Chain A
């Protein structure tokens, strides 16, 4: 029963997302290490301001077009993916195949990071771009299987239908493997925390190594938005969406999203960066079969009811 809203909500969505991302970043900074690792970067607002007063900087023979496309694409992809994520029971658009849309939009991040890494014509940033491609190969298949499992459980690709199907039992409860795989791949998709090797400090910032000023704000801000959207999407897909006692739907969405974000941030503190030369094996040999198995179990349950 997710409603689609009037077209003007398209304009509100980026604002809401940015606000949520800023809140998350502020909480993160207040709790200790901020972005950039050991370096407490202060409150995010101040860091953004610091970058905004920086002058533009170009590198020799850089491909400006690709660089700008890559840098801009990241926040745009995050917002587009957010179109189908409902706040409470209201999404900007409850597309009939919203889950496919969500996955397609977040896959744009592949292009975005690769282009941003390639564009500046610098070896380290290209290494960062390559790393994200390897990461994509590792996380994307288990990720798609995980969200497919949620769609299977609801027998619909519409996000609203997935929420409706969880009026009783949350999907996270009876498809826990898919839920955990979704969380891990949400981190990987936003190349954040234990999956931030594409912008790792060992490669002097990787794909972001040569970005400064506005470009850096867009790129790293886009990454935050992507993380927020991925966390917010976990709520309708696995955590019952706006369903819950006492509080209105939108409040439940916010509370659950905040909880997911808190888990994701905790993961960064607990784990070192997972290198893809090691993680790839786990993703393909362990996670993919597990995700298939989970989908199979869910399919049998759906057939049997």
Chain B
């Protein structure tokens, strides 16, 4: 027995962490990432390899189903913790690691045989909410699709889909009607087909992306209709979170200044630098360049720790050199997710995406340039003017938060893109849903 315990302890000395981040919890998320890096605990790409589920922020208690889906999809030994404020991180992780070693964590029942593999990616949709009830289990199973070929949307249970994209599907393509007569595999209907871009009739997959994906904007759910790995339709949703107190983390200095507080330029520049480096880190991770993504995140943490300007510049400039001059990355991201300046402006986009007025590569370089400039300015003491509302995602204080405009331009950019390009496009716009969660707060227009 003792040997068993020792093996378990050695095996779980560095548990793999699956973070489930709610909108409004950016600060805690960033600090969690830093803590995990310093502990050397790996992040899990999905529930299959995760040991510890870390819920970051305050989810809407009535809409916790997506977290439940994640939890059910994790194999034992497993544990889960909730982190609301930054100071809970270290203690929470320790508690989680301890819980993993308790016998209960190693004992059954894991994944219900009927649970869907994609539950972890499911969004706020109510159609996962009845999963927990045994009574609905069988019925749910009958409605599931063989998602090797087909999706959930449209087959799901009608009340669950009310108000969601599912119904739009149903009317969008007529082939759906004959659906019940199609073949079934293990009680699941076979895939649905639709015309693809080349005029072929191909299987259609319905895949919800988010909210718990690595390197993905917290709270965002994209419901995709895919053929092969080409996106045919997109529906944007977001998960609900309890409205938190305080400002969106990345926009805080500007919103404070707008509200009449005295905010020096230095800390604002520091925050902008960190926000862009965070976005750069995500984009590089999605682009499959983990070594440089790591660099970007380390630089972001340097910025947030309040390092002197010289140290911050020294942390940012190698990144600008390596990434900004990478011909390979340029070749890979040129022409992906093109958002020209005119379209951007008419959709109300401001900030880096408008400045770049181009593709993923352009936006990445605007981030890098602005981060480098901000790094040099991070010790300025002059005050931020209340009218200067250029936050990391764009102009604050307008009728809509800048990230809303970024979300609005997403669907046309994604339709027709391949899965990998679609993820690059989302990461290169990096909408910050914190801004939406607290939208009413954000619109304190400055009088100056």
Q: Which residues of A does B touch, CB under 8 Å?
A: 32-34, 36-42, 46-47, 49-62, 118, 120-127, 130-131, 194, 196-197, 200-205, 209-213, 216, 268-269, 271-275, 277-278
Q: Which of B3-29 contact A (CB under 8 A)?
A: 7-8, 10-16
**A246, chain B: closest CB distance, angstroms:** 36
User: Are B226 and A123 touching (Cβ within 8 A)?
Assistant: yes
Which residue, of B15, B141, B226, B289, has the highest number of chain A Cβ atoms within 10 A? B289
Q: How many positions in chain B have a CB within 8 Å of any CB in the partner chain?
A: 73
Contacts of A47 in B (CB 8 A): 42
Contacts of A125 in B (CB 8 A): 117
| Given the contacts A123-B226, A202-B423, A46 and B141 also touching, CB distance less than 8 Å | no
> Could you pull out 12 A-B pairs where Cβ atoms are within 8 angstroms?
A40-B40, A41-B14, A58-B113, A60-B113, A60-B116, A61-B185, A123-B207, A201-B215, A203-B420, A204-B213, A209-B46, A211-B49
Number of CB contacts from chain A to chain B under 8 A: 196
B409 lies within 8 A of chain A by Cβ: no
User: Are B297 and A61 touching (Cβ within 8 A)?
Assistant: no
Q: Interface readout for B40-66 with A: 1 if CB under 8 Å, 0 if not?
A: 101101101101000000000000000
Q: Which residues of B does A touch, CB under 8 Å?
A: 7-8, 10-16, 37, 40, 42-43, 45-46, 48-49, 51, 73, 75-77, 106, 108, 110-111, 113-118, 121, 141, 144, 146-148, 151, 185-186, 188, 205, 207, 213-215, 226, 228-229, 284-294, 297, 326, 328-329, 331-332, 418-421, 423-424
A58 to B420, alpha carbons, bound, how many Å?
Answer: 26
User: Are A272 and B287 touching (Cβ within 8 A)?
Assistant: yes
A33 to B49, alpha carbons, bound, how many Å?
Answer: 18
**B330, chain A: closest CB distance, angstroms:** 10
**B232, chain A: closest CB distance, angstroms:** 13
**B431, chain A: closest CB distance, angstroms:** 17
| Given the contacts A42-B40, A59-B116, A205 and B48 also touching, CB distance less than 8 Å | yes
User: Are B10 and A46 touching (Cβ within 8 A)?
Assistant: yes
**A221, chain B: closest CB distance, angstroms:** 14
A200 to B114, alpha carbons, bound, how many Å?
Answer: 27
User: Are B294 and A38 touching (Cβ within 8 A)?
Assistant: yes
User: Are B76 and A55 touching (Cβ within 8 A)?
Assistant: yes
| Given the contacts A37-B285, A54-B76, A60 and B42 also touching, CB distance less than 8 Å | no
Closest to A45 in B: B10
Besides the known contacts A33-B290, A201-B288, 17 further A-B residue pairs in the complex with CB atoms under 8 A apart: A36-B290, A37-B285, A39-B43, A42-B13, A42-B14, A46-B10, A54-B49, A59-B115, A122-B117, A127-B229, A200-B288, A203-B419, A212-B48, A216-B49, A271-B289, A272-B289, A277-B420
